Amino acid sequence: MLFAGWFADAPVALTGYPRLAGTGLLVMFGNVNAAIPFLLDMLRIPADTFQLFVTSAIVNARFGTLLAAVHTVAIAVLGACAVAGTLKFDARKLLRFALITTLMAAAVVGGVRGVLELGLDRSYTKDATLTGMAPLRERGTPDTFTSRHPAPPLPAVTTSVLDRARTSGVLRVGYFEDSLPYAFFNSRGELVGFDIEMALQLARDLGVRPELVPVDRTVMDTGLDASVCDLIMSGVAVTTERSAHVQFSSSYLDETVAFIVRDNLASAFSEWSSVRAMGHLRLALPRSPYYVQKIQEELADVEIVPIDRMEDIFKLRAQSIDGAVVTAERGSAYTLLHPEYSVAVPKPRPFKVPLAYVIAGRDAAMTAMVNTWIELKRKDGTIDGLFAHWILGQDSTRHQPRWSVVRDVLHWAR
């Protein structure tokens, strides 16, 4: 348990030693494979370190068998000597033996710790991998605007939003600044993500120049003004109340509703029945009647804590929330930035939330074109490829090519 806490950067405090010793003494009388997960949960050590215990138990069992054999032989020799009257106690020898044993044990423990500290790389890099992700492929260079450097208004629509984009040669796409992994700035200051690549691909297919502009989420309640952008491509979830204010395209992806919880609670939130059995819960949810209604249908005794941004979930931990309701696809990305949390998809009956693009001014021509384009991208594998890259994390790091004279000395290639 102590090693698991050290290894997972969740060390057991000295004040927790008596609790570990007392509780461990009781639970270890039962099944060890049931006791270890219980102790991990009690000490808030990540539950997946149990795999380390299972693996090490195989090795420990072999040494245990060897020790048991040595113990049997030692008892037999001592018993025979006692019966024969040749058993003698020498305090000096016993003291010397105890001292040598203590010094050897300290040397072994200290040596193992030193080897692990120096030779075992425990540095966490998945957050850097996520924030360092690059586009799956080159799809063009957009003009990117931010809230500090806003874009000028677009000209008025005379015929349709689609015709305006074709005439001006510019497709302006809106994005939400807190829409990981669909739209976010990586560690190099580049705006990247699933929908950013989709936006660049759409502009390329239309033969126009892409512009990316930030938009506020309040447009979901007021409607998207065509002077701001032509459409929003930023992982927008389709809900009934939103469809009353904005025009959605066809769905291009489905997300799965899940919980973000402390790592040690992930197993408890993996079944609806076990979540209900917890009784009263305080759950953080996005400010959306759709999510609130869904959760209240599943959980009778729940207190809703509304949030505006995903990062608010991790700021609320001091207020003793039990978890947050998000989607597995977004939650998985955020748990890479906050590894002490995990995503739990409750079973059975996980429910889905469709994602779609928001069309400015409810423009029929743009909507029809985008719907057709989405179907084409689904058929040619573009959506599947981007899902594997941005959601599943495949090819998330660029492989460093082997050293060569042509590239590293002559610099004839990159």
pLDDT digits (tens, 9 = 90+) for 178-189: 899 999 999 999
Q: What is the largest CA-CA distance in the chain?
A: 113
Given the candidates 3.30.420.10, 3.40.190.10, 3.40.50.2000, 3.10.580.10, the CATH classification of the domain at 254-353 is 3.40.190.10
Of 396 and 301, which is predicted with more confidence? 301
pLDDT at 32 (0 to 100)? 81
User: Band of the pLDDT at 357, cuts 50, 70, 90?
Assistant: very high
128-252+363-391 and 254-353 have identical folds: yes
Please tell me the distance from the alpha carbon of residue 369 to that of residue 354, in angstroms, as a whole number.
19
Tell me the average pLDDT across 325-344.
90
pLDDT at 33 (0 to 100)? 80
pLDDT at 191 (0 to 100)? 95
Please tell me the distance from the alpha carbon of residue 179 to that of residue 311, in angstroms, as a whole number.
11
When computed from its CA atoms, the radius of gyration of the chain, rounded to whole angstroms, is 30
Q: Which residue from 19, 59, 18 is spatially nearest to 41, judged by alpha carbons?
A: 19
Please tell me the distance from the alpha carbon of residue 307 to that of residue 334, in angstroms, as a whole number.
15
Dump pLDDT digits (tens) for 204-249.
999 999 999 999 999 998 999 999 999 999 999 999 899 999 999 9
- Identify the bridge partners of residue 260 per DSSP, sorted by sequence position: 324, 343
Residues 46/263, Cβ–Cβ less than 8 Å: yes
* Residues contacting residue 175 through CB under 8 Å, at least 6 positions apart: 183, 191, 195, 196, 199, 212, 213, 214, 215, 232, 233, 234
User: Band of the pLDDT at 16, cuts 50, 70, 90?
Assistant: confident
pLDDT at 397 (0 to 100)? 56
The distance of Cα 181 from the centroid of its chain, to the nearest Å, equals 11
Domain boundaries along the sequence of the chain: 2-88, 98-123, 128-252+363-391, 254-353
Asked whether residue 400 carries a pLDDT value surpassing 50, the answer given is: no
CA-based end-to-end distance of the chain? 48
CA separation (Å) from 268 to 38, 259, 260? 12, 11, 12
Q: How many residues does the chain have?
A: 414
* Residue for token pair 């200290």: 110
pLDDT at 258 (0 to 100)? 93
Q: Residue 297, Cβ neighbours under 10 Å: how many?
A: 9
Burial-class residue 92 by CB neighbours within 10 Å (0-12, 13-18, 19+). Answer: exposed
Strands (DSSP E) contained in 156-239 are 170-175, 184-185, 191-192, 209-214, 231-237
Please tell me the distance from the alpha carbon of residue 397 to that of residue 408, in angstroms, as a whole number.
21
Dump pLDDT digits (tens) for 273-318.
999 999 999 999 988 888 888 898 889 899 999 988 888 888 876 5
Of 271 and 123, which is predicted with more confidence? 271
Q: Which two tokens stand for residue 162?
A: 């689609």
pTM above 0.85, yes or no: no
- Which fold is adopted by the domain 128-252+363-391? D-Maltodextrin-Binding Protein; domain 2 (3.40.190)
Please tell me the distance from the alpha carbon of residue 299 to that of residue 272, in angstroms, as a whole number.
8
* Residue for token pair 């009690």: 42
Please tell me the distance from the alpha carbon of residue 165 to that of residue 172, in angstroms, as a whole number.
8
Asked whether residue 398 carries a pLDDT value surpassing 80, the answer given is: no
Strands (DSSP E) contained in 239-351 are 247-248, 253-262, 281-286, 302-307, 323-327, 341-344
Please tell me the distance from the alpha carbon of residue 203 to that of residue 308, in angstroms, as a whole number.
30
> Please, what is the average pLDDT of the chain?
88
pLDDT at 410 (0 to 100)? 46
Residues 296/302, Cβ–Cβ less than 8 Å: yes
pLDDT at 414 (0 to 100)? 52
